[in-house]
Structure formats: C-alpha cells, structure tokens
Amino acid sequence: MDNLNPNDLSAIVEADRAHIWHHLLPHKQFETTDPRIIVEGKGMRVWDQNGKEHLDGVSGGVWTVNVGYGRVEIADAVHAQLVKMNYFAQTAGSIPGSQFAEKLISKMPGLTRVYYANSGSEANEKAFKMVRQISARHHGGKKYKILYRHRDYHGTTIACLSAGGQEQRNAQYGPFTPGFVAVPHCLEYRAHEQGLAGDDYGVRAADAIEEVILREGPDTIGALCLEPVTAGGGVIVPPKGYWERVQEICTKYDILLHIDEVVCGVGRTGTWFGYQHYGVKPDFVTMAKGVASGYAAISCCVTSERVFEMFKDDPTDPLHFFRDISTFGGCTSGPAAALANIKIIEDEGLLENTTRMGEYMLDQLAALQEKHAVIGHVRGKGLFLGAELVADRTTKEPADEKKVQAVVADCMQQGVIIGATNRSVPGYNNTLCFSPALISTKDDLNQIADAVDKALTRVFG
Ligand code: PLP
C-alpha cells in the first residue's frame, strides 16, 4: 500500500479519525468532532486542514514553541547534524551535546552538569532518582522523601504524578509511589481559603512548607520540588518574599532544591530561567519545552557539582554511580536544535522582548479586568500570563468551568488559540492562560486581547 498523499488532507483526517489516540481529549470527542490537523506554521501563526489561520497564543498548545514556527535555521542545524552523526548512546558524548551544555551552563551560575533526556517528565524522574540514591548512599536511606506543592505538575509518569499536586490529573492512576509529600500552594489571591490572608503572605506560605517538614521529620526530607511559576495549576506567580524564605528553609534542613523549569525554562518569563527572578540557588533544574522550542525532543536535568560529587567512586560499593540511561538522550538532534534555538533568543534579543511584551500584555489584561467583572485576577511573569475568572469578585467563587471553556472555544472560532486550566485542580479550572511566543509584537497581543474581550462579552454578557 502506498503512503497517504500528504496533500490529500481529507485522507489525512480520515486516517487520524481511524488511528490516532489524541492526547488529553475526552473520548467522546473522537466520535463527535472532526480532528484538527495543524498543517503549517510560520512565526506566531498556524494553519489547519481547512486553511484557516490561527494566531497561537499558547506556543504550540502547551507553552513550547518559544521562538515561533518555521525557523529554518533550526531545521538546517538539525539536518546538518543528522547527516553527520545522528545518534550514539550518552555513554559517549557528541559535538552538539558538548556545545549546548557549555552554552547552557554559562546561563546558570552555580550549576555544572547536564544530564540529557527527552521529556519534562523524564528529566524530573532523573532528579527524583538522584535524590533517592543520595539518600541511600549518604543518609542510610532515611532522607528519601520528596516534597511537592499543591497545584504544581511535574509530569505524566507514575512517579511524576506521585509528585503531582493536581488531583484531577492523578485520579484513577493510583496507587502512587510512596515518599512524596504535599505542601500548600502559594496563590495569594486565594490566601483567604488557606487562612493565611494578610501581610507577608509570601513568607507565611513558605512557613507552611516548614510546618510540613517539621511534621514529617527534617531528616526524612531529601528534596523540595517546585515550579518557579506554577503553569497548568493556574499560572501562579509566587508572592513577595516566598522564594527567599524557601531557600532559607532548604538550607536550614539540608534539603535539596529541585526547580522544575519545564515550562519557564529558556526565556518564557523574560530571564533564562524563572528561578533567576528570585535569586535562589537550586541543586537541580529540570527543563524541556522551550529548550528546543519543539523542533526536537530534548530535556535536561542540570545539577550542581555538589550533587554530581555525591555519586563519586566508592571502591566498596559497585552500585554507587547513577545507573540510569535515557536511550534517546543520545539523539544529537536535541542539542543541535537547542543550540540554534538559544542563538535565536540571543541574536533577536528575545528575553528583552519577552519582558517588554509581557508587561504590555499584563496591561491589556488589566484593561479587560476593568471592563469584565468576571475577571477576578490577572497575573503573569514575562509572556506567561493568566486571568482567573470568578462568578463573584467579592467571594472569589470560581467561574463555571464550562463557561471558561466556552471562552477558549469562542477565541478559537475567531482564529486565536488561548488555553485554560482544565481537569487539573477540582473547582479551580477557571484560569485563562496565555503563553505566546517570545517573538510576540504589540499587534499580536492586541489581537489576542481583542478576541478575549469579544469572547467574554458573548459568554458572560
Ligand atoms: N513539568 C511541568 C511544569 C509541566 O508543565 C510539564 C508538562 O506540561 C511537565 C513537567 C512534563 O513534561 P512532559 O510532558 O514533557 O513530560
């Protein structure tokens, strides 16, 4: 049988309907709606099988395509590398592997080692395994617990879900891996629900982590794993004083700090990494989506030399070293794409653009908030923004989830793709999410804000 003709889009749609199990879609949707095939992309825009143009306000659906679509320079770099040398296991090195590691480390003072893998989940798993092995080798197996935060997400594997603070993502996938313990979220807008409203919320939200540590026993806690700015849990920008106190707590109890930069990493918030806004010193930083903007599958677990040293040779223990492999961590396409990606960000001044455009977009959202009572709170860091919708501004009761999804659908009709928290934290799937590419212009952002304005009027009146 011949391959399907790529220009026969109705045959492509039929094959999709017959064979593709789409990610995250409710099953009913397979039968009731036409699959959407994204055929082409250029800059901030994509075109579907019907030729309809969409402005992408979420960088590939899940905050990934940081430098935008159609980057020939990345494709060329990957092509040149693949014809020279496509793959060898990471037991050996590669030219782009060394080049990208050197570049990356130059952006991350205090960290020295890059462990290559393929997905955000996998990078987080590496860090979890390292923490467990450090506990086994240096703390008699006692310091094995890993703290995670309510509303954070760290990936889709069973161990990552065990560290997952979004109940609706976890439901029906248990039993989970033991040794993961939740701490409270730090969303100031909802501090009253935690009984923590008032001054110094940031410090007190971090103190709540210390309470969990004391309850569990500090010598049982190996690491604390946090998103710098929570993504799918509601675009939660940490409150003032939070990260400083988190750092103090980790130092005080000798707890390794693992920052999950899978979304924030490589420019999304206007700095190379989200944690760099807050002056903290992580022991592990994991990253994936923006590393190569989706042009190749690559993730990294970056560690300090202190962590690396904890695995050094021990003649009495043949199992002392990190006995882990990621087969496709050896694909050279990943670091080749990542190197070209980071060059674009540098050459085009995209960190500066992200900061400027992020402030502009926050102003646009604030203006919408003045007009639409349903917007309870707007927040963001760089081009990573959210607008939380509420049924009542005084009580802050979350808006009806179906209506929130109707806003997303209305924008889609208008040719603008935005996101919303969805099947994540029960009762709080009420935040519209925006993460347009770092190349966004004011015109692009105006188009997004205009679509949201019209959609809110139609859905909420
Ligand atoms: N960490 C965070 C903060 C994420 O948002 C995600 C995915 O959305 C992951 C980890 C998992 O990444 P992946 O889907 O590449 O496994």
Ligand 1 centroid to Cα of residue 457, in Å, is 33
Nearest CA to ligand 1 atom 13: 120
Same domain for 276 and 403 = no
Same domain for 156 and 58 = no
CA distance 162 to 120: 15
Check pocket membership of 202 for ligand 1, CB cut-off 6 A: no
CA distance 109 to 305: 11
Same domain for 414 and 283 = no
CATH number for position 450: 3.90.1150.10
Atom of ligand 1 nearest to the CA of 264: 3
Ligand 1 centroid to Cα of residue 260, in Å, is 9
pLDDT of residue 30: 79
Instruction: Name the residue range of residue 100's domain.
Output: 72-347
Any domain includes 23: no
Any domain includes 223: yes
How does pLDDT run along the chain (461 residues), one tens digit per residue? 889 999 999 999 999 999 999 999 988 887 788 899 999 999 999 999 999 999 999 999 999 999 999 999 999 999 999 999 999 999 999 999 999 999 999 999 999 999 999 999 999 999 999 999 999 999 999 999 999 999 999 999 999 999 999 999 999 999 999 999 999 999 999 999 999 999 999 999 999 999 999 999 999 999 999 999 999 999 999 999 999 999 999 999 999 999 999 999 999 999 999 999 999 999 999 999 999 999 999 999 999 999 999 999 888 999 999 999 999 999 999 999 999 999 999 999 999 999 999 999 999 999 999 999 999 999 999 999 999 999 999 999 999 999 999 999 999 999 999 999 999 999 999 999 999 999 999 999 999 999 999 999 999 98
pLDDT of residue 105: 98
How far from the centroid of its chain's Cα atoms is residue 382's Cα? Answer: 14
Atom of ligand 1 nearest to the CA of 122: 16
Q: How far is CA 2 from CA 6, 13, 76, 393, 414, in A?
A: 11, 17, 29, 59, 37
Any domain includes 2: no
Q: How many CA atoms lie within 13 A of 360 on its CB side?
A: 18
Q: What is the ipTM of this complex?
A: 0.99
CA distance 403 to 60: 23
CATH number for position 180: 3.40.640.10
Same domain for 332 and 362 = no
Same domain for 410 and 261 = no
Same domain for 303 and 234 = yes
The count of structural domains within the chain is 2
Nearest CA to ligand 1 atom 11: 155
Same domain for 433 and 309 = no
Same domain for 322 and 376 = no
- Domain C-terminal end among 282, 314, 347: 347
**Token pair belonging to 43:** 């800059």
- Domain C-terminal end among 347, 367, 387: 347
Same domain for 47 and 190 = no
pLDDT of residue 75: 98
Ligand 1 centroid to Cα of residue 231, in Å, is 9
CA-wise closest residue to 291 among 41, 113, 117: 117
Rounded CA Rg of the chain: 22
pLDDT of residue 378: 98
Check pocket membership of 227 for ligand 1, CB cut-off 6 A: yes
Please, are residues 34 and 13 in contact by the beta-carbon 8 Å criterion? yes
Mutate to test the pocket of ligand 1, among 258, 263, 269 (most ligand atoms within 8 A of CB): 263
Any domain includes 434: yes
| Helix 350-371 × helix 333-347 angle, to 10° | 70
- Domain C-terminal end among 297, 330, 347: 347
pLDDT of residue 155: 98
Same domain for 210 and 61 = no
